[in-house]
Chain A
């Protein structure tokens, strides 16, 4: 199993960014997928999750209405659209697999991509 994130970078407050995660080594559309973030030196925070067929999505209250999660099963890819970014969104963003669905633990994690929101 391998999860590879990309798309992070430095962005100004109020702007947008799109993160991607490409999965390999397992049948992508058998699993829910998630994003978990970690501000530098801080703890872990679940951001969003999506079930296998995109029928169910969930978001943390801190990102609801600003972030949008989607997936492309044909490309084994997961996407997180980050809009109206705030300095407190600065974090490493990890893609993770959820074996139990949208409400789950996380059995595989990517290496993370860093999003820095600063003017």
Chain B
């Protein structure tokens, strides 16, 4: 089965910082990767799909890149509402989520 390794598991950042989260697949998944944001007590929200396509309504400070096994979610300038947990998910075969990255205030 395909494994997803997300890193870091947590990070501390300040408003305005550029934040990068990585997701590595154990085998080639082409571009079948999505990114989600989840805030405490809320459902996940789709940010990016097909590795780099921004979901409608998601601010342009969010971007995704990568292919085959290595993928990145970048927040170009962290905003107060971006403090949350972020998950990657592959859909090359049965869907699987990464372990999550918690972004909190430095």
B-contact 0/1 string along A28-55, CB 8 Å cutoff? 0000001010000001111001000000
B62: CB under 8 A from chain A? no
User: Chain B residues in contact with chain A, CB under 8 A?
Assistant: 32, 34, 36, 38, 43-46, 49, 55, 87, 89, 91-100
Q: Given the interface contacts A44-B87, A112-B43, does A107 sit within 8 Å of B97 by beta carbon?
A: no
Contact between chains at B44 and A109 (CB < 8 Å):
yes
* Count of residues in A whose CB is under 8 Å from the partner chain: 21
User: Chain A residues in contact with chain B, CB under 8 A?
Assistant: 34, 36, 43-46, 49, 58, 60, 94, 100, 103-112
Contact between chains at A103 and B87 (CB < 8 Å):
no
Q: Given the interface contacts A58-B94, A103-B94, A107-B55, does A44 sit within 8 Å of B89 by beta carbon?
A: yes
Q: Chain B interface mostly helix, strand, loop or mixed?
A: loop
Contact between chains at A111 and B94 (CB < 8 Å):
no
- Complex alpha-carbon distance, A15 and B69, angstroms: 41
Contact between chains at A106 and B96 (CB < 8 Å):
no
Chain B residues with CB under 8 Å of A100's CB are 91
Shortest distance between the CB of A66 and any CB in chain B (Å): 16
Residue of B with least CB distance to A104: B91
Contact between chains at A111 and B91 (CB < 8 Å):
no
Chain B residues with CB under 8 Å of A44's CB are 36, 38, 44, 87, 89, 97, 100
Q: Given the interface contacts A43-B99, A44-B97, A105-B49, does A110 sit within 8 Å of B43 by beta carbon?
A: yes
